[in-house]
Amino acid sequence: MIFEVITIFPELFSSVFNFGIVKRALVRGLLQIRYHDLRAFADDPHKKVDDRPYGGGDGMVLKPEPIFRAVAAVKAGGPVEEAQQKVLLLSPQGTPLTQALAAELTSLARIILICGRYEGVDERVKEALVDLEISVGDYILTGGEIPAMVVIDSVARLLPGALGGEFSATDESFARGMLDFPQYTRPAEFRGLKVPEVLLSGDHRKIQIWREQQARERTIKNRPDLLGIPYPPRQS
């Protein structure tokens, strides 16, 4: 898989993927990450990629021309069948990123990520170029770079061979529609806090039942929406 990142701040990515699972996947040749400076595709001497919004208002909007040129250049740089690639825009208005969506994206050969900035991008970019808008949460960030990192990390770790254990990705939070169960390691007792006896029993069936119960209880407490249960009203 190839990730193509279009951004005005490519230097933000310089150290993020030099560690851990994504780094190992890069070394193993499971994926590539390429960065494209949007300013390189501007057509004026000052490399301007934004302008004031029509209709007035605060802030600036990313212009369409540099983004169109950047996407065209990326696609021309390495032909991939249209069915095997998607152009994603990181945006607060996008579809929420979920584990299921991350897994779906692993089927692609190339993902082109457009990092929004300021007040967003010209709407014509969304209409003519973008296959899917993605949001990483109901909050506002200063740009699409951090969300792009989240997308890359969540997708890359699901690629075959990226994780150490064969079933690592299937036992995590959200993989089964619930949050993960509690995890413990040695020592069996620390400052009076003990590991649950069932985990020390060696009875794998009882351990599995306990883990499923704990996962469900944790999900009901913290994310009831995952089980179709409405959140309780907030205390005033």
Q: Is the pLDDT of residue 218 over 60?
A: yes
Least confident of 110-124, 150-164, 168-182, 205-219: 168-182
Question: What is the tens place of the pLDDT at every residue in 171-192?
Answer: 666 767 899 999 999 999 999 9
Q: CB atoms < 10 A from the CB of 5, how many?
A: 25
Is 1.10.1270.20 the CATH classification of the domain at 173-227?
A: yes
Angle at 117 between CA 115 and CA 119, to 5 degrees: 135
pLDDT of residue 168: 60
pTM for the predicted model, two decimal places: 0.89
Strands 85-96 and 110-115: parallel
Instruction: State which CATH number among 3.40.1280.10, 3.40.50.2000, 1.20.120.340, 3.20.20.70 fits the domain covering 2-156.
Output: 3.40.1280.10
The proportion of the chain whose per-residue pLDDT surpasses 70, expressed as a percent, equals 94
Contact by Cβ (8 Å): 147, 106: no
Q: Is the pLDDT of residue 48 over 80?
A: yes
pLDDT of residue 20: 93
Instruction: Tell me where in the chain the CATH 3.40.1280.10 domain(s) lie.
Output: 2-156
Structure token digits, residue 88: 């994603």
Q: What is the mean pLDDT of the chain?
A: 93
> What's the rounded mean pLDDT across residues 94-116?
97
Question: What is the tens place of the pLDDT at every residue in 63-97?
Answer: 999 999 999 999 998 889 999 999 999 999 999 99
Q: Is the pLDDT of residue 6 over 90?
A: yes
Provide the sign of the torsion angle of the four alpha carbons 63, 87, 130, 177, taken in this order: negative
Q: CB atoms < 10 A from the CB of 187, how many?
A: 10
Q: Is the pLDDT of residue 167 over 90?
A: no
Instruction: Tell me where in the chain the CATH 1.10.1270.20 domain(s) lie.
Output: 173-227
Spatial distance between the Cα atoms of 220 and 43, rounded to a whole number of angstroms? 53
Q: CB atoms < 10 A from the CB of 51, how many?
A: 13
> What's the rounded mean pLDDT across residues 128-144?
96
Least confident of 9-23, 148-162, 201-215: 9-23
